Structures are given as C-alpha cells and as structure tokens.
Structure 1
Amino acid sequence: MALHLWLTFSFAYLLTSLIPGPNVLLTVRNALRYGPSGMGMTLFGNLTAQLLTITAVAMGVGALLISLPTAFLVLKLAGAAYLIYLGLRQLLGKGAPIAPTAQLAATPPQTQWRIAVEAFLVSASNPKTLVFFCAFLPQFLEPGRPIFGQFAAMYLSGSLIVCLVHSFYCFTAWRFGLRLKASPLAAWFKRASGALFIGLGVRLLNTRAV
C-alpha cells in the first residue's frame, strides 16, 4: 500500500471513527463499569467482528449480502433488536454504572468473555458497518498489488485508530465519571446511556443498503 494512500486512508478512517456510535458507547460503558479489562475485552470483540466483516468485503461476500434484500433485512432487524435489548437492560437494570478505580474488583474470566461476545454481536449485527466498508475500503486499493495484503494493512491501521479513539473517549468519560460517582447525576447518566442504545437501535431500522 503506497504511503500517500495509507495516509489518506488513515486520516479518513480517523474522521469516521471520531463519530460516536454503538461500539464507542459500549466501550465507554464497559470501561466505566469494569475498568481497563472491560475496555480491552470490548475492543477485542469489536475488532474481531470487524476482521470478519473486512474479510467478507475482500472476498466479495459483503457486496453479495447487501444485494440480497432479505439477508440485509434480517441482519438489520437482528442488530436493531440487540441494541434495543441492551438499552432496556441498561434502563431497567440495577446498580450504578460508574465506580472509582480503587473500588473496581477483578473481573471474572466468564464476565470478560461475556463482554467480548456482547461487543462482537453489537458490531457484527450492524449492517451499517458492512455498507460502510463495502463503499469505503475499495477506494484505497491499488491495481496490481495483492488484494488481501492491502485489506490486511487497512484492517491493522484501522484497528490501531479504533483503539486510540476509544481509549480517548474512555479516558474522558472516566475523568468525568469520577465527578459523577457521588452525585445523583450518576443514575441519570445510566438512564441516558440506555436511552442512547435504544435510539441507535431505532435509527438502525431506517438503514438502507443503498
């Protein structure tokens, strides 16, 4: 991948990653609730799903799924339903979402894997990710170079950008969360994040393949 193409790709991907979406919201929520391990496992699940999605795009499967209205509708409904489920669980669940770092207990391995699976499902069931990669990534391919090598370079670069951006959001939310932990606003923050998940799920229902 030529340097100028890589720089253009990285800058464009950074701009798109700065726009908060379900993955950012989930990472921040888990970071506030479980600490660094929660953030790390959320990123692991998210990036695993992105690896599968980019592989599908590289093999042409992504474009095939988008061209099949039934398959796209099923994926869209599944993604929207899961986001709404997460929002309702956040709204109706008990317990504060924010805890001081000193009070964060070690997260059990089964909980860590549950976090990763949850993040994987949120990312993999979002058809907007598939549509975006199908339209975005081919613009940076160079004729005559190995296709999978170029997709691998874009995936690795994008993964680094995602980790940096999500870490920034998590650190900012954590600093803000320290001020909220003893405030009645903590309960409001919990309800607001649940409402955001539900709103993102409803918005996903309006997504179109083209």
Structure 2
Amino acid sequence: MGNDEERMLEMKIWKQTMWLIGLAALAMPMLFIWWQARDIEWKWEEETLLESGEKIRIQRKEIRKIVGGGELFQTMRGIKEGSIKFIDKTSGKKVYWSSTLVPIILERGKGKIQWSVIASNVWCEDFSKYGSPKPPYVQFDLVDEGWIYHVVDNGWHDKMANLLISEKEIKKNIGKFLTSSEIKDINEANGFAHRRYTIIDVNEISNCEK
C-alpha cells in the first residue's frame, strides 16, 4: 500500500471516528434526560396484621418517577402508582388496589364493604386530585368488586398503620418479605418523623392547606 493510500485510509478512519464522537455528543443529553426521568419499580411482600388478629400475605409494588438528579442522588418524584395485591382467604378472590396515595391501613370491611384501605397524599397535586379531603386521609372501600373512595370515617381515628410507610425502609427491603412484627417495629421507630402516616388523626391538617 502506497503512502497516498495510507493517508486516505487514515483520513477515512479519522472522519468515521469524528462522526461517531459527534453522534455520541448528540445522544448523551437525550440519554441523560431519559436516565433522570425514567420510572423505577419497587416490589416487596408484607405480612399484614388485621384488627381481628388475622394475618394475610400481600404483594406491594410502587412505580416511582425519578427527577432532578436521578437515582444517584436519590431524588424521587414519589409514588407514580402504588398497588396492593393479595388473595382474600374468605372468598378466594384476588383483591387489587392501586393509587398515587400512600396506603397506611388495610383492613376487612363491614357489611357490604369487603375491604378498606386508608391512604394519604405526599404531593399536593394528589391531595387536590382526591378532592382536598379534610382530614387529609382518603378511605377506599371495596364494594361489589369495585373501589369507591371518600373522606376517612371518624371511626378510624387513632388507628395505627399496619402497612410499611417509610420510603427509606421500603427501599432497603425491596424484594424481601417483612413480617407484621417487623413492620410494627419499623413504623414505631419512624413514628415521630412520619406521624401523619403512622396513626390516623382526624384533626390532622394537610400541609397543602397551610
């Protein structure tokens, strides 16, 4: 191969290399935006202690959207969608609940109500979405295989959470199974920082109203 051919080959390789570098430079910002805004999924299982003393095993999942720095900096949008799934031991039917709110209590219902979930918001947009409830708790009731929601009944006042509510503890236990005793201990340890989510207080005022 002559010198001219070698120079032409080197020039061709250089041009291809510059083209790839330029393409990467264009793609990097888009990849960075995707990395920051992508959804992540957390799954774990819990043993839930009901008021009657019955224990049920539930599957929980949270889809979260990362913003403002990405997972490296642990900056979360919060719950894009959270869900609870389990088999009702009495009816043998699957029960599925989902919302953007934080579930605090899962309990068997009374009369026509098969199950109830008490939940609260993290973000004010979710507070408004559910009608700005006062106090800031939403009660979801499963009736005839469909969920209806309304402001929490006063009868739930002073009821303690039986679901894991701490984001930090959830993240630590992704993929694991937590017993009802472990959940109770974790919630009690986080009660001061997350009191609104560990005990239902009908006198609670949302920070979205302050």
Structure 1 length normalisation: TM-score? Answer: 0.27
Higher relative CO (Cα under 8 Å, sequence separation at least 6) belongs to 1
When you count strand as a share of all residues, which structure comes out higher?
2
Where is the helix percentage greater, Structure 1 or Structure 2?
A: 1
With structure 2 as the length reference, what TM-score do the two structures score?
A: 0.27
Question: Which entry has the higher C-alpha Rg, 1 or 2?
Answer: 2
